[in-house]
Amino acid sequence: MDNEIYWLWLQGASGYAKPVKSLINAFGDAKNIYEASSEALKSAGIEGYGPKVIGRIKDEDIEKYYDTYDFCRKHRIHIITPDSKFYPEKLLEIENFPLALYVRGDYTCLNAENALGVIGSRTPSQYGEEATETIVSQLCDNGVLIVSGGALGIDSIAHRTAIECGGKTVLVMGCGHGSGYLPENSALRRRVAENGALITEYPPYFNVTPGTFPQRNRIISGMTSGVVIAEAAKISGTFSTARHAIKQGRDLFVLPGDIKSGNYEGSNQLITEGAKPVFSAKDIIPWAKIKKISEPKTGKPFENIDLEASSYKKRGKKKSSDEVKTETIIEKEEKIIQKNEKITPETISKNAEIVYNIMSDGVCDSDGIIRESGLEVRKVLSALTELEMNGIILKVSSDSYRLN
């Protein structure tokens, strides 16, 4: 039995974002915990693992994780566990590190020597947008892996800029692959999978809940040397990630902003509390001990996974309608990701790229695209024509389009 199964079992049994470091240190790995008796687990006296928790762990049936394992193998979703050389070493430093990461894309970049988180407001100012583009470009020139959360606004700008600069980027999701969350960023997620990695601690089909994003934020800060905050309100997911970074002992870099703007209230407060103000990558690299290299690391091509039948026997479990629907989404994304012709700044105009990145897998009408992009009507229509002529989108009615 492969070790991944034991890690999947332990993650499901103990729950997400739970402090597991002491438990792993005491028993070595998930397999040893699975094989340990309830008495051995109780006698270890690990804080947070009393009789009730231990009873729940020992009652968890490992059999149900075979289907998840088989599905991931079939659809090229890599399972990276703490005993893998590709698991981010920095992430192992935090108390509640994930016991399994589900990865699509180049998993070899996860353990990059140089990694920084770049996060910020979902509704950034023009200054925040331009500053993010500038700083991320400079970081990529220094071979830095850009890690962010794939949200609208600063996160999306950070991912897109890293791709445009030929760098690597990792998008940490707060849901499982194929959940369908935030369809307007589906195109961006596909590009990230082509130029880095999409990762999550949640299995396929896992939907967003109120707690998944705060839990996700600890991974963004945990797998990096530090976090760059481009723009943050006082009450926001960005501010939450900053608190994780401080607790984890990561460097915190903040772009100062307008003291009269609510979008910068959190940013400016963090600076008064000791975060390092930054205006360019020169203010970040010496502090984060980034090793200067001549060109960005590209990482090795990820290994092909054998798509033949898994070594585990099929258990004949009938899939639910939700599982069938989600599998269709994943298969569709997989097909697009594996296309030879990629969408790059060299092949389409800037406006066409903006339109492409906001289109979902469904049908989009031109009015909606205009509202979402903020571009002039004539620029959107021109971009749509360009994308259509390049075979990237299809026109399905007089004013509606979908990705090809």
Per-residue pLDDT tens, the chain, 404 aa: give them.
478 999 999 999 998 888 899 999 999 999 999 999 999 999 998 888 889 999 999 999 999 999 999 999 999 899 999 999 999 999 999 999 999 999 999 999 999 989 999 999 999 999 999 999 999 999 999 999 999 999 999 999 999 999 999 999 999 999 999 888 898 899 999 999 999 999 999 999 899 887 899 899 999 999 999 999 999 888 788 888 999 999 999 999 999 988 888 889 989 999 999 999 998 888 998 776 665 543 333 333 323 323 233 333 333 444 444 445 555 567 666 655 554 344 444 567 878 878 887 775 456 888 888 877 788 888 888 888 888 777 778 887 777 887 76
Q: What is the pLDDT of residue 380?
A: 87
Q: What is the pLDDT of residue 297?
A: 36
Last residue of a domain, one of 288, 317, 340: 288
Give the list of residues 6+ apart from residue 148 with CB closer than 8 angstroms, or none. Answer: 117, 118, 119, 154, 155, 158, 159, 169, 170, 171, 172, 220
**Residues 248 and 357 grouped into a single domain:** no
Nearest to 366 by CA among 349, 357, 378: 378
The pair of three-digit structure tokens given for residue 329, joined into one six-digit string: 């989404």
Query: Using N-to-C axis directions, what is the helix angle for 377-389 and 350-358, rounded to 10°?
Result: 80
**Residues 217 and 114 grouped into a single domain:** yes
Phi (first) and psi of residue 269, to 5 degrees: -65, -40
**Residues 38 and 122 grouped into a single domain:** no
Q: What is the pLDDT of residue 312?
A: 31
- CA distances to 2, 77, 89, 172, 353 from 110, rounded to whole Å, are 21, 14, 9, 11, 26
Nearest to 108 by CA among 298, 282, 261, 239: 298
Q: What is the pLDDT of residue 234?
A: 81
Would residue 270 count as lying in a domain? yes
**Residues 70 and 122 grouped into a single domain:** no
Would residue 312 count as lying in a domain? no
The number of beta carbons lying within 10 Å of the beta carbon of residue 120 is 34
Phi (first) and psi of residue 277, to 5 degrees: -70, 140
Would residue 89 count as lying in a domain? no
Would residue 314 count as lying in a domain? no
Place of tokens 């606004």: 153
**Residues 156 and 238 grouped into a single domain:** yes
The number of beta carbons lying within 10 Å of the beta carbon of residue 295 is 11
**Residues 159 and 200 grouped into a single domain:** yes
- CA distances to 87, 89, 113, 255, 265 from 81, rounded to whole Å, are 6, 11, 18, 34, 38
Query: Using N-to-C axis directions, what is the helix angle for 377-389 and 366-373, rounded to 10°?
Result: 120
**Residues 129 and 196 grouped into a single domain:** yes
**Residues 16 and 108 grouped into a single domain:** no
What is the per-residue DSSP string for 255-268?
A: ----TT-GGGHHHH
Would residue 240 count as lying in a domain? yes
User: Which CATH number does the domain housing residue 10 bear?
Assistant: 1.10.150
Q: Are the beta carbons of 114 and 144 closer than 8 angstroms?
A: yes
Give the list of residues 6+ apart from residue 166 with CB closer than 8 angstroms, or none. Answer: 140, 296
Which value, to the nearest 10 degrees, does the dihedral of the CA atoms of residues 48, 17, 208, 91 take?
A: 180
Would residue 197 count as lying in a domain? yes
The number of beta carbons lying within 10 Å of the beta carbon of residue 286 is 9
**Residues 271 and 388 grouped into a single domain:** no
Would residue 109 count as lying in a domain? yes
User: Which CATH number does the domain housing residue 168 bear?
Assistant: 3.40.50.450
Last residue of a domain, one of 53, 74, 95: 74
Would residue 324 count as lying in a domain? no
**Residues 116 and 64 grouped into a single domain:** no
Number of domains in the chain: 3
Reduced to 3 states (helix: H, G, I; strand: E, B; else coil), residue 53 is helix
What is the per-residue DSSP string for 356-378?
A: HHH--SS-EEHHHHHHHH---HH
What is the longest distance spanned by two Cα atoms in the chain? Answer: 71
Q: What is the pLDDT of residue 251?
A: 94
Give the list of residues 6+ apart from residue 124 with CB closer than 8 angstroms, or none. Answer: 132, 153, 154, 157, 230, 231, 263
Domain that holds residue 354: 350-403
Last residue of a domain, one of 267, 288, 309: 288
Q: What is the pLDDT of residue 202?
A: 96
**Full-model pTM:** 0.74
**Residues 28 and 152 grouped into a single domain:** no
**Residues 27 and 130 grouped into a single domain:** no
User: Which CATH number does the domain housing residue 384 bear?
Assistant: 1.10.10.10
pLDDT tens readout for residues 84-132: 999 999 999 999 999 999 999 999 999 998 999 999 999 999 999 999 9
